[in-house]
Amino acid sequence: MAPTTVLSQSESSFITSSLVLPTPIRTDGRGLHEFRPFELSTGVAPQANGSARVQLGHPGSTNGTEAVTAVRLEVLDRPVGFGKDEGSSVGSRVDVTCSVDCSPSAFPLMDSKALDAYSTYLTTLVQQTIPPLLPPLPITSSLSFHYTIDTLLTSTAAGNIPDVVFLSIRSALSDLRVPRTRNVAYQASLSIDENGESDMVGIKGAALGGGKKKGAADRKKGQALAKGAEFEIEDYWDEGERLDESVRLDLPVCITLNILPNSTHFLDATTAESLASPTHLLTFINGKSEVVGLRLVGSTEVGVADLKALLTAAKTYASNLITASNASLDVPAVRVPGGLGYFGS
């Protein structure tokens, strides 16, 4: 869990013994299943198609955990198998690139190798969870929009990094605007000259006074109609359409269950609490209370019966977090030039 510091055995024992008391004690006075307040804002990167910033713990200060996500759409050739998954749009073959970068200032005690390793770890979590839930965005028969999701961790002082990263990605995708496009077609003339040879540009026909011919009768004489794989972006004030509401509401959040030696779990761990907990269960749950991903980090085993109870509890926590974040996302985003700018390369 990206240990930026190391706890002594006495410090770790003090934290865990406080958490397993009949009346648990946390340094900030929270209950075991309480989240700290978070601040969510969208439209923070004007040059991106969708963006969001999430600050946990101490919004507006350097003592919290902050993640900024920008989503960019690029026009690329359709991948093989694009949009083919038993007739479903969501979960089809979609081209998505995800990356999570860690700012050195967010991990001042980590060397470059450890920083790269943790960035790779977070990127893997996102790449395995988010792309299967995104719909394909076709433009023409050969072109489509390619998702590029970039997340930057700028501060990690408050801990609970995976939850903040996924909440920022979910918020940025909810803010995403897909440009409206219009296909542009052209008509290519394919005529047959008197010698039975094809004349692609119709020069011989024009020289003989035949001119350009249209209609079904003319196509019998050799004229073909062809459509070009070209498009243009329509200029609208709202910068495009948002993803379908069903897709936006079902984007997952991450709920990290920090499991103590007595099988008690707690939420939203601080950095010290996370280091003191031997096991962490990362659950990825969508708006339908479906578990779309799961990862166990730590050395302690979790039995099947315990796992079932943990997942049931995680679904409740995820539902509450999704409800709270959706309420924040209902506020229209105002894109103001001169904000953070798009930080991706």
DSSP string, 159-209: --HHHHHHHHHHHHHHH--BPPEEEE------EE-TTS-EETT-HHHHHTT
Beta 143-156 vs 96-102: how paired, if at all?
Answer: parallel
The pLDDT, as a whole number, for residue 141 is 82
Q: Is the pLDDT of residue 74 over 60?
A: yes
Q: Minimal CA–CA distance to 123: which of 104, 144, 105, 148?
A: 148
The pLDDT, as a whole number, for residue 267 is 97
Angle (nearest 5°) at CA 280 between 288 and 32: 80
| pLDDT tens profile 113-138 | 999 999 999 999 999 999 999 999 98
Q: Is the pLDDT of residue 227 over 50?
A: no
Please state the rounded mean pLDDT for residues 283-300: 93
The pLDDT, as a whole number, for residue 61 is 62
Q: How confident is the model at residue 207 (pLDDT cuts 50, 70, 90)?
A: very low
Tokens standing for residue 8: 């002594």
Q: Would you state the CATH architecture of domain 14-183+231-329? A: 2-Layer Sandwich (3.30)
Please state the rounded mean pLDDT for residues 244-267: 93
- Exposed/middle/buried for 89, CB within 10 Å: 0-12, 13-18, 19+? middle
Please state the rounded mean pLDDT for residues 140-146: 88
| pLDDT tens profile 31-49 | 999 999 999 999 999 899 9
The pLDDT, as a whole number, for residue 197 is 57
Tokens standing for residue 16: 């865990």
What global pTM score does this model have? 0.80
DSSP string, 107-120: STTS-HHHHHHHHH
Number of Cβ atoms within 10 Å of the Cβ of 140: 17
Please state the rounded mean pLDDT for residues 219-226: 41
The widest CA-to-CA distance across the chain, in whole angstroms, is 99
Q: Is the pLDDT of residue 24 over 90?
A: yes
Phi and psi, residue 41, nearest 5°: -135, 145
What integer best gives the mean pLDDT of the chain? 81
Q: Is the pLDDT of residue 202 over 80?
A: no
The pLDDT, as a whole number, for residue 216 is 42
Q: How confident is the model at residue 142 (pLDDT cuts 50, 70, 90)?
A: confident
Please state the rounded mean pLDDT for residues 254-264: 94
